[in-house]
Structure 1
Amino acid sequence: MKKTIKALKFSLVFSLLLASFLACDKDFSVIESNVLGEQNANFFTDSVSFQIAAYNKKLEALQINGLSSTLLGVYNDPAYGQTIASIVTQLVPSTYAPDFGDNPVIDSVILTIPYFNRITGTNEDGSTKYTILDSLYGRKSDGSVKQFKLYIYQNKYLIRDIDPFSNTNERQNYFSKADGTVLNGSSNINFDSPSLKGNLVYATDSIVPSSNPTKTSIGTGTNKVTTQSAPALRIKLQNPFWKTAIIDQEGSSSLSSASEFSNYFRGLYFKAEPFNGDGNMILLNLASTNANITIYYSKDSSVAGEKTQASYVLRFTGNILNTFNNDYSTVPFLNGDRTTGDEKLYLKGTEGSMAVVDLFSGANALETFLNDYRIPIGNGNYKKDANGNYILKRLINDAQLIVYEDETMPTQAKYTNGDDYHKYDRLYAYDIKNNIPVDDYSSDPTVNNTSAPYFSTYFHLGLRNTNAAVSKYKIHLTEHLNNILLRDSTNTKLGLTLSSNVNLVGNAKILNSTDEVTSVPTVSIITPRGTRLYGTKSNVPANRKMKLKIFYTNTK
């Protein structure tokens, strides 16, 4: 029996993969044949749709430390409203107890934080060609990038590593609030308060990210050497502040160790503000080895009258918090109806909303499903083989969660305010009981594409089909349902979020959650865009309602 099941599944998966390449949006059909005839076959195939319940879950107080990347800027979503993303980050010196030499003089202080980018080819001069458009949000109708204001302050708040109220030395987590403030589990932190906002280090009205490579020149005249690297936020900072804060601290305990430095220099606060009520938002790669503040300085040489050039590097490898100030005035997010589901489902990142999908929402829905696919023997028990495995009378060949996007939402036009909305976005489904991907994620035969993550895991999670009148997704859940049938899994509820990178499956906690959703995927927090889906309420048109469709083989 096991060999038969495996053979059927292998041939079917191969056929489905082939079909997905030929026509991503075509429903799977049974190709009839009279070679055997149904009366001579020992199995036949069919499909059935299940009534499910999908409802909204409002998100608030989400963990904002330990994220995979960081957002900075201002984003106006026509469907939801405005989000302002700011950053509070520690700095970590490359070396401690430095010797800056005799008579050090700062030449320049350069802040560099790479944007997430992709290589798209080669320019005419032979240099590398990049794009940052899949991590840049906010363009004008002519395609040019909007601007936002940026202020960088010295941060006076000590970002702790360990929770002082934990008996097991647990990590200190920080949680967002929609007004831009932060919770540490016991108190509220406002980085704009005078007691926490220190010296102004930098200010500009015009941050406009570009896909152009970053050029760095060292030396002068014939000794000048220019190198190119990936696109980055590159800012020249004020010399006097860094002379006082770093160079003049040589020999003091402030630069002697990591603990001394983190207590002395508690980091920077990158505060974004709208420019004329608007702006852009960009995903920054603070984890890059090229993300740093470099102090270039000169010191006396051993040769009288000459200077030697040197540098001191501060990296963003400490604690990083991504704060969000949300004005979701156009859509009041609410928790939905768990019994019948909601008419519309709101998926929005940066502390917005997600959906919960109950695959067996009725009182006896799960029992009916088990009775249809297993062989009942009474009293809620089912027939097993000699090895204790359930014997199935129906074999699931493919299970699809079919999801329709709301064609009436403001961002459905391909270019709204210059943005190609949803082009790089994906739906991500996860097991909310264990906060892990469903089994179909790990068994997906499509390769994870790190350079273009919107083409990763596209058999399980599907790709957004835009060829039809209504955009839709197909999320394959075959292994997830087989896990319920064969191993008595009780994980019948899925979380549904928007994701800009389905390769990232880490989780962020929800502070003091009072229901079954205790964590969300971290990437859903740093996905600023939102979408709107049709749900499962009775007033949703039949051709738009979210459904679970199962293709099965019925053995005789």
Structure 2
Amino acid sequence: MYNNSFFKKILLVASVVFLYSCDKDYNEIGGDLIGENNFDLNKQTYSVLGYNQKTGAIQSNNLEVNPLGIYSNTNFGETTANFNTQLTLPALITSVSTNLFVESVVLTVPYYTDATQLKVNADGTRVYVLDSIYGPEKAKMKLSVYESGYFMRDADPVGGFQQPQKYFTDQDTDFNNLKVGNRLNNSLNKAENDEFFFDPAEHPVVATDTVTGVKTTTYTAPGMQLNLNKDYFKSRILEAVNSGKLASNDVFKNYFRGLYFKMEKSGSSAGNLAMLNFKAGKITITYKEDLASTTGGATTRVKKTIVLNMTGNTVSLLKNDYSVNGGAYDALPNTGNQTEGDDKFFLKGGEGSVAVLDLFDKKDLKGYDANGVLTGPNGISDELDDLRNPADGKKLLVNEANLVFHIDAAAMASSYEPQRIYLYDFKNSRPLTDYYLDVTSNSVDAKKSKAFFDGIIKKDATSKKGLTYKIRITNHIRNLINNKDSTNVKLGLVVTEDIGIIASYKVKTQNANISQAPKASVMNPLGTVLHSGKSTVAEAKRLKLEIYYTKPN
């Protein structure tokens, strides 16, 4: 009894000490306390050299969300975003009966809406505001949907079918050249083709009671809703069932290879661009057929549906035109000035660009041996060497380390701004320690999770335009200082569509400077211009590594 109680007490004390230590570590990196200097912290700033690195064409298949439309940016030119998807069968179909009549073929893809701005009218109808739309509201474009003739493989035969097949942003010509026949969205309603626009209105759905004949109307949330060619789908889908074309998904995906969405200008309209979850889209074929009685009775006329989902392989196809507004970006070299750095960082999503950062000044005139004795150059920045080997022998305790990026307000004055940027280990294409250690979440919007690691845009309260992005790298800096074998790797900075996605996608033409970039950056259609850490940048806007620290007495 006594020994058991004793050990329980020891365990309780140990637990308290452990929890206190965790709480202390957490509070050490608490950013809200830093600004008021409640603990008499010291602050030191260090150099950050950075340059632009374009990705060129980049892998863009099977993204979680995809852009569709035309978007003109004052800094990055005009982007036309097309799309290709395979179709899949949720239920396999082996036979249909006789005397087929197709009532409708409807393609639907939901739009993102802003739940905070939803209004409900007195009659129960709703007024929606679309989210993730960039460009003039209700801008008209020409939308053409074709059967795709391009077969999208699951695996790469060059890699011995061991690797998934990759498709890239610059393959629009390949898919366009293999589109089949005429466009399928041939409705007389021009809002479904020649004058298409992303409509925020909800869709009425009228249902008729089969017994009473009473009609009732319900409404569905906004989304793309296109009536497709009924005769075409009767021939290509329904009349192909009995020949086994819909008996398995492998056979079906080779027979009907998918849909190709092509966007073009409509008259003088500038167009706009929407982010869409095509994998929630589908085609619903509603038809009637005659079923013979199994008991010799009369033939029965029945209504049925076939659903084709958009859950197969997909690819985002991007065409960039820099002749309007994008000349300065187009003129940038593929790789910026790696020696002196660039004045500005041009972060662009999609087929875009990354900023590559080197922390600490490159000057290397001295070094230290294992015993802390001063030696000659050692391939490590003198600034970092001095932090690792302080003259008084007392290592500083890093309470917080930040990179604060100032937005070029003049360049971004009339542009949509990315809501978040992402910093990662550029050399190894993986997140930083601080990313993994941040377990903060957001139940309303998962894209705003990891708020302590940050990277979320800070806006002016009046103008609502972006001012800065801040990213905390406290643990990364602690590791560099406390572990002398830690490598001061290059860091990559990109726009991101989703902070929770950390996978990397391959660039099409790899070289010594870049081989891949974050997948979530490929998903984002926007770009931003930031001031760099070069000495030519005004002091107040210059990027620096800020370290807040205390030293033991």
In which range does the TM-score fall when normalised by the shorter chain?
0.7 to 0.9
Aligned pair count reads: 497
Determine helix, strand or coil for the equivalent of 1:165. Answer: helix
Q: 1:244 is matched with which residue?
A: 235
Letter of the 2:382 partner, please give it: T
Letter in 2 for 1:12: E
After superposition, the Cα gap between the structure-2 partners of 1:297 and 1:343, relative to the gap in structure 1 and judged at 3 Å, is same
Q: Which residue of 1 aligns with 2:14?
A: none
Where structure 1 has 5 or more consecutive residues not aligned to the other structure, the ranges are 20-26, 33-43, 183-188, 378-390
Aligned equivalent of 1:191, options 146, 154, 175: 175
Of 205, 208, 211 in structure 2, the residue corresponding to residue 219 of structure 1 is 208
Residue pairs, 1:256-275, within 5 angstroms? 256-275=247-266
Alignment of 1:174-323 (within 5 A): 174-177=167-170, 181=171, 190-193=174-177, 195-203=178-186, 204-219=193-208, 222-275=213-266, 276=268, 278-288=270-280, 291-300=281-290, 304=298, 307-323=301-317
Q: Residue 481 of structure 2 aligns to a residue in which SS?
A: helix
- Following superposition, the deviation at residue 304 of structure 1 comes to 4.2
The list of structure 1 runs, each at least 4 consecutive aligned residues, that deviate by more than 6 angstroms after superposition, is 1-5
Assess, with a 3 A threshold, how the Cα gap between structure 1 residues 116 and 442 changes in structure 2: closer, same or farther: farther
Distance in 2 separating the partners of 1:225 and 1:306: 26
Cα distance in 2, alignment partners of residues 205 and 452 from structure 1: 36
Aligned residue among 451, 454, 457 for 1:461: 454
The equivalences for 1:1-40 within 5 A come to 8-14=24-30, 16-17=31-32, 19=33, 28-31=35-38
CA shift at 1:447, angstroms? 1.7
Q: Distance between the aligned counterparts of 1:544 and 1:152, measured in 2?
A: 47
Moved more, 51-60 or 301-310: 301-310
| Mapped pair 1:412 → 2:413 | yes
Structure 2 residue identity aligned to 1:71: P
- Kindly indicate whether residue 316 of structure 2 is the aligned counterpart of residue 327 of structure 1: no
- Give the CA deviation at 1:509: 1.4
Q: Match of 2:456, SS?
A: coil
CA offset at residue 8 of structure 1? 4.3
CA contact (8 A) 1:102 1:300 kept: yes
**Whole-angstrom CA distance in 2 between matches of 1:227 and 1:491:** 60
Letter of the 2:25 partner, please give it. Answer: K
5+ long unaligned stretches in structure 2:
1-16, 187-192, 365-378
Q: Is residue 136 of structure 2 the alignment partner of residue 136 of structure 1?
A: no
Q: Is this contact kept in 2: 1:340–1:536, CA < 8 A?
A: no
Residues 525 and 11 of structure 1, relative CA distance in 2, 3 Å threshold: closer
TM-score by length of 1: 0.82
Residue identity (%): 32
SS at match of 1:463: strand
8 Å contact from structure 2 (residues 88, 310) kept in 1: yes
- The counterpart of 2:520, out of the listed 520, 523, 527, is 523
Tell me which residue corresponds to 2:382: 368
Of 151, 154, 157, which aligns to 2:147? 154
CA separation in 2, counterparts of 1:225 and 1:486? 70
Summarize the Cα distance change of 1:327–1:447 in structure 2 as closer, same or farther, 3 Å threshold.
same
CA shift at 1:465, angstroms? 2.4
Are the structure 2 counterparts of residues 237 and 470 from structure 1 closer, same or farther at C-alpha, using a change threshold of 3 Å? closer
Q: What is the CA–CA distance in structure 2 between the aligned matches of 1:111 and 1:392, rounded to whole Å?
A: 68
Confirm whether residue 105 of structure 1 aligns to residue 101 of structure 2.
Answer: yes
Answer 1 or 2: which has greater helix percent. Answer: 2
RMSD of Structure 2 on Structure 1 (CA): 2.9
- SS of 1:206's equivalent in the other structure is coil
Residue-by-residue CA offset, 1:463-522 (whole Å, 9 max, x unaligned): 322338981121111122223334543252221111233233332211242135322222
